[in-house]
Chain A
Amino acid sequence: MKKTFWEIQREKKRAITLLFLFFFPFFTFSLAVLFEILRFSSVSLFFKDAKFSEFLIVSSVISLIVFFISVKGSSEGKIYRYLEMLNAQVPDLKDMKHQQVANVVREMAIAAAVPKPRVYVIPVLGKNAFSAFNIIAITEGAVSALDRDELQAVVAHEMAHYLRGDSYYKGVLSSFAMTITFFLTISLFFAGGDENSERRGFGGGFIGIAVVAYIFLVELFTKFLNALISRRMEDLADAMAVQFTRNPLSLASALFKVSRDRVRGISLLTNPAVAPLFIVNPARKQIDESSGVFGDIFATHPPINKRINTLLKLAGVSRKELVERTSPVRNNREWWVEKQDENLGPFTLEELLEKTWIGEGVKIRGKEGEVKLSQILSKFRPIEGQCPRCGGPLFNTYYDFVPIIKCGRCGGILVREDRIMRILARGENQITEAEEKVSESSLEKERKTFYIHGASPEAVDASQPLKCPFCGGEMWRKFFNFINYVPVDYCPKCKYYFFDSGEIEMIIAGVKRTKYLYR
């Protein structure tokens, strides 16, 4: 029997409600038992004569207090600080990909009949997304790798969390877990007993072992319950996302792409306080990937393959078709480039403009015969100022939708500082294998220069600084970063980088290589 997403939703909602109903008495009861234990131990001089029922009342009052404090106090400030730390930005509307993000968020808010949440893009290469309170954040890596429908599906999943207020519930759960740990730690401390007191506590005897076992079990069970609720929330969010988009396949292919992300584990997103909020667990543990027994018990996210299979069943599509669908195809490849007697291509027009190694010295052939780079560029808007390297004309163009400024003569590009991460993220899909090889070898040369000269002015050749085309000031010559040692020019006043012909490809190849190291 094929289930509809409505049926899945009802099932999961019921499971979550039942689990929450169970969590409260479980917490209260475990706490009361703990007090009872404390009564036997040396600290209990205060409530020696208390009854178990009184403990129950006390612990239910405590759980109510914890509940209200965590609902009221789950501050959005913490999330904003986290976003600030990650340097998250509102979408850059001049960048079409970012505009799509803003648009799909608006569309999904309409589909879910909720007010539009705030959107942020995190300039991180890992592919992920999260929602907390009224915020939906998505990483640059995900924005670059996913197509419009897939972005929509990911946003729909986050919109479901936002609509249900899952981040509040997750906050409540974690503060319950924290309170239990707090009391458990205290009791563990006191259960050892006091040598000088007339009551010796449990010491190391049989009861002592039993107490430690009890404490261990309660902690374990709390974690288990927490993870169980969190996973049902993820399943529910998936089913609701399908309700909003009516397109289970796009969520399946988004999860498929995200799950094969090589940099998931090394990004800044693994902070355990926020990890459960993401669409796939950023702290890539074996546990989330396998569907074995342990995977099912303690993971905050359901096994991603199980999620994909559920969605594929809803879509009526086989896994094989999904894999075929997600492999990239490009149309309109009609441009060839001749460089050093080698015929390279075919490229699309957009790809052609992205390659910084294409300058005056290379021959470009299109359908209408040979053309010059400046001729192609002339249909873009020219800007005032001249190329800092060769004095050629500058044009406003795009690197996979990221606005850049390109020289019509030498092929060098100027990029605003805050957009560089986006180019690196999108470069992974744009750069060809041959380019990667060439760039790798030039990268190796730069590394050697660095090893000979060290981080001295000779290594970056700062003797003749370039003139910034916008403010006329002198540009700094520095290493782009200290992993790849590519020397680049930077205007600190205008916050623009200038990359010479071929340099951006070198940096992208370097980023790709470092990512492979972490595979």
Chain B
Amino acid sequence: MIGVLIIFAILAIVVIWYIATYNRFVRLRQRVKNAWAQIDVQLKRRHDLIPNLVETVKGYAAHERETLTAVTEARAKAASAPSPQEAIKAEGELTEALRRLLLVVENYPNLKADQHFLQLMEDLRTTENSIAFARQAYNDQSMVFNSQIKKIPDSIVASQMRLKEYPFWEIEEAAAEEREAPEVKF
């Protein structure tokens, strides 16, 4: 009798563990997917912001035409990229062009006293940050996910669910310098 009870208890524990682990993986996978979706959302947000930004800067610093056209062109290229690989490349160029624009703007102290301009800078800054943070979040989430599905005994559930590792998003050179890349050992 007691033997049967013990076996029953062990079985119950295994089932509960399986369900709990399954649910955790579903949750973790959802977070990776959400983080990935945010990258797209934030890139789109940046595309919407650029025409307004370029117009304003033109009003104050018309002779920075070169930098401004570079931004406009990079945006057009990114918006019409035929393949995901090219889109990634074009977005990187756009990031570069915007960074140059920000440097140029530093030379116009009058601009900095202008609330409308400051407003735009804040918009741009939060958009650039959001893109960087969205990628970082995707990498963080997929790293946690990748290491969790390899852990024994949870990996049994993972292989049952046919979970695969997510690839990392390469962070561009300049951005990587600013943000210390996570050194992790699991």
- Contact (Cβ within 8 A) A111 B137: yes
Residue in A108, A113, A243 whose beta carbon sits within 8 Å of that of B31 in the complex: A113
The B126-142 residues at the A interface (CB cut-off 8 A) are: 126, 129-130, 133-134, 136-137, 140-141
Is B136 a contact partner of A332 (Cβ separation < 8 A)?
no
A113 CB, nearest partner CB in chain B, Å: 5
Residues of A within 8 A of B115 (CB): 96, 398
13 interchain pairs, CB-CB under 8 A: A6-B184, A96-B118, A103-B125, A106-B126, A107-B126, A110-B38, A110-B137, A113-B141, A243-B182, A246-B136, A332-B109, A349-B113, A398-B115
Q: Find chain B residues with CB under 8 A from A332 CB.
A: 109, 112
* Chain B residues in the interface with A (C-beta under 8 A): 31, 34-35, 38, 42, 109, 112-113, 115, 118-119, 122, 125-126, 129-130, 133-134, 136-137, 140-141, 179-180, 182-184
Q: Does the CB pair B182–A110 fall under 8 Å? A: no
Q: How long is the Cα–Cα vector from A106 to B109 in the complex, in angstroms?
A: 29
| Residues of the A chain whose Cβ atoms lie less than 8 Å from the Cβ of B109 | 331-332
B137 CB → nearest A CB, Å: 5
Q: Which residues of A contact B125 (CB under 8 A)?
A: 103, 148
A110 touches B133 (CB 8 A): yes
Asked if A87 is at the interface (CB within 8 A of a chain B CB), the reply is no
Q: Which residues of A contact B (CB under 8 A)?
A: 4, 6, 96, 99-100, 103-104, 106-108, 110-113, 148, 243-244, 246-247, 331-332, 348-350, 398
Cβ-Cβ contact count across A and B, 8 Å cutoff: 58
Q: Which of A104, A108, A110, A246 contacts B42 (CB 8 A)?
A: A110
Given A4-B184, A246-B179, A332-B109, are A113 and B122 neighbors across the interface (CB < 8 Å)? no
B30, closest chain A residue (CB): A113
Q: A202 to B186, alpha carbons, bound, how many Å?
A: 56
Which chain B residues border A108 with CB–CB below 8 Å?
133
Whether the Cβ atoms of A107 and B184 lie closer than 8 Å is: no
Q: When chains A and B are docked, how far (Å) is the Cα of A458 from the Cα of B106? A: 53
Name the distance in Å between A384's Cβ and chain B's nearest Cβ. Answer: 20
A103-B122 contact given A243-B140, A349-B113, CB 8 Å threshold? yes
Residues of A within 8 A of B184 (CB): 4, 6
Q: Which of A6, A103, A111, A112 contacts B126 (CB 8 A)?
A: A103
Known A96-B115, A96-B119: A6·B182 in contact at CB below 8 Å: yes
User: Which residues of the partner chain A approach B112 to less than 8 Å between Cβ atoms?
Assistant: 332
Residue ID in chain B nearest A2 by CB atoms? B183
A350 to B133, CA, bound (A): 32
Contact of B130 among A4, A6, A106, A331 (CB under 8 A): A106
Q: Considering the chains assembled together, what is the distance between the CA atoms of A70 and B31 in angstroms? A: 28
CB distance from A354 to the nearest CB of B (A): 12
CB <8 Å contact, A99 and B122: yes
List 12 other contacts, CB 8 Å, given A103-B122, A107-B133: A4-B184, A96-B119, A100-B122, A107-B130, A110-B38, A110-B137, A111-B136, A111-B137, A113-B34, A113-B141, A332-B109, A332-B112
Query: Please, which residues of chain B bring their CB within 8 A of the CB of A111?
Result: 133-134, 136-137
> When chains A and B are docked, how far (Å) is the Cα of A61 from the Cα of B54?
66
Whether A113 and B129, one on each chain, are in contact in the complex, defined by CB atoms closer than 8 angstroms, is no
Give the docked Cα–Cα distance between A348 and B109 (Å). Answer: 11
7 tightest A-B CB contacts, nearest first: A111-B133, A103-B126, A246-B179, A113-B35, A113-B137, A349-B113, A110-B133
Cβ-closest chain A residue relative to B115: A398
Q: Which residues of A are found within 8 Å of B141, using beta-carbon distances? A: 113
CA distance A512 to B119 in the complex (A): 30
Report A-chain residues with C-beta under 8 Å of the C-beta of B134: 110-111
Whole-angstrom distance between the Cβ of A271 and the nearest chain B Cβ: 33
Q: How close is B65's CB to chain A, nearest CB, in angstroms? A: 24
Contacts of A350 in B (CB 8 A): 113
- With CB as the reference atom, state the residue of chain B lying closest to A102: B126
Query: Which residue in chain B gives the minimum CB-CB distance to A334?
Result: B109
A246 to B139, CA, bound (A): 13
Across the interface, which residues of B come within 8 angstroms of A398, CB to CB? 115
Bound Cα distance from A479 to B166, whole angstroms: 64
A9 to B: closest C-beta gap in Å: 10
B122, A96: Cβ atoms under 8 Å?
Answer: yes
| Docked pose: A27 CA to B166 CA in angstroms | 43
Q: Count chain A CB atoms within 10 A of each CB in B109, B122, B137 and give the residue with the most.
A: B137
Q: Which residue in chain A gives the minimum CB-CB distance to B123? A: A103
Q: Which residues of chain B come closer than 8 Å to A246, judged between CB atoms?
A: 136, 179-180
